[in-house]
Amino acid sequence: MGEPHGVGIVGLGVILEAYLATLADHPRVRIVAVADLDPERVRTQAQRLGARGCTLAEMLDMPEVETVLDLTTPAAHAAVALACAAAGKHRLGEKPIAATLSQAFDVVEAAGAAGTMLGCAPDTVLGTGVQTARACVDGGRIGRPTSAVATWISPGHESWHPNPDFYYAAGGGPLLDMGPYYLTSLVHLLGPVRAVTGAASSLRGTRTIGSGPRAGQSVPVEVATHVAGTLEHVDGAISTITVSFDGFGSRARPIEVHGEDGSLVVPDPNGFGGTVEVLTRGDGEWREVPPSAGFVDGSRGVGLLEMVGAAGLPRQGDGSPRASGAIGLHVMDIMSGLLDSAREGSRVLMATCPQRPEIVPLTPFDVWHG
């Protein structure tokens, strides 16, 4: 099997634990360095993981760091990604790929010029939930797909997150924060998007932190907090999406896909599993679909494992990862287009059109987890 693949992690905030559940004890990767703006976080995690605590610049100088896992806030994604490319390091980062579309193009171009691999969350779409639904679509279970509906409604993250400022700054908002789960799923299910039309609003100018040492403090809102849009997919299907920090919840299914011969319910794309249900012509009732594709019992980090060849299955035919920078760029193109459309009152054509990612074969836990 060779030596474990060396990983450095930059950004040691709340989401770190979800990635460590996958990566910390995986036999084919080794966390060799950690970096953060908070020195105490660095000391704590370096000691815990047996890794070197350092700055990002020091991490990028370490030969044993082959891939950087970027868990910083959205405003820092582009700078970290560009530094990784300049240092010849592979990089997989949290969503969105960058805070703006122009930065996203710069990130993809830099990685291509450097010959480094570029990955982007969410990798939740590689789990059995979305992938089993994808297998149903590809297998003709609902006939030719005609439409899809995606919905996510909440009152905002300030009620639980101790430092929610970045959710309401550039690169945040419900679209750039939660939208990637739903939009990436729609691209896996129905293929790339050619044009979008959007509407957006913001309920109030400040948010109040509800927990932690800063509870009661106000956070300024600089982004749209409710976004709705229509997506025209290249293959003809039309999907709609609503994401909001201005509601209290919804009983709508996370994603529904409709076709000429049936309909499909897709579970929460912010998780790896969940139940897929299908209703087909002449059947008369919804039926559960057993998992038939995807990483079984997956968790955050499987996208990095797949990218570096440590997940027990090959990368795609062209060598790119399934949670790729190209898909991250396309999702950013969609989100930017929706916000541009809302601002300008126009239909916006996409500048990108990536290949639809290959389906993930059903991969048991003991295979992908080593």
Task: List, in sequence order, the alpha helices (H) in the chain.
Answer: 16-23, 39-49, 56-60, 74-86, 101-114, 128-138, 173-177, 179-190, 302-307, 325-344, 365-368
Residue 283 is predicted with a pLDDT of 86
CB distance 162 to 212 below 8 Å: yes
Say if residue 1's pLDDT is above 70.
Answer: no
Of 364, 248, 239, residue with least CA distance to 298: 364
Residue 171 is predicted with a pLDDT of 83
pLDDT tens-digit readout, 26-44: 999 999 999 999 999 999 9
Residue 150 is predicted with a pLDDT of 98
**Ranges of each domain in the chain:** 5-123+363-368, 124-349
Residue 30 is predicted with a pLDDT of 98
Looking at residue 185, its amino acid is S
CATH number of 5-123+363-368: 3.40.50.720
* 304/282 Cα distance (integer angstroms): 42
* 133/294 Cα distance (integer angstroms): 10
pLDDT tens-digit readout, 117-147: 999 999 999 999 999 999 999 999 999 999 9
* 93/78 Cα distance (integer angstroms): 10
Residue 314 is predicted with a pLDDT of 86
pLDDT tens-digit readout, 225-259: 999 999 999 999 999 999 999 999 999 999 999 99
- The set of residues, in sequence order, having a beta carbon less than 8 Å from that of 246 and lying 6+ positions away, is 155, 156, 201, 203, 225, 226
Residue 211 is predicted with a pLDDT of 92
CATH number of 124-349: 3.30.360.10
pLDDT tens-digit readout, 287-325: 999 999 999 999 999 999 999 999 999 889 999 999 999
Calculate mean pLDDT across residues 165-172.
90
Calculate mean pLDDT across residues 173-200.
98
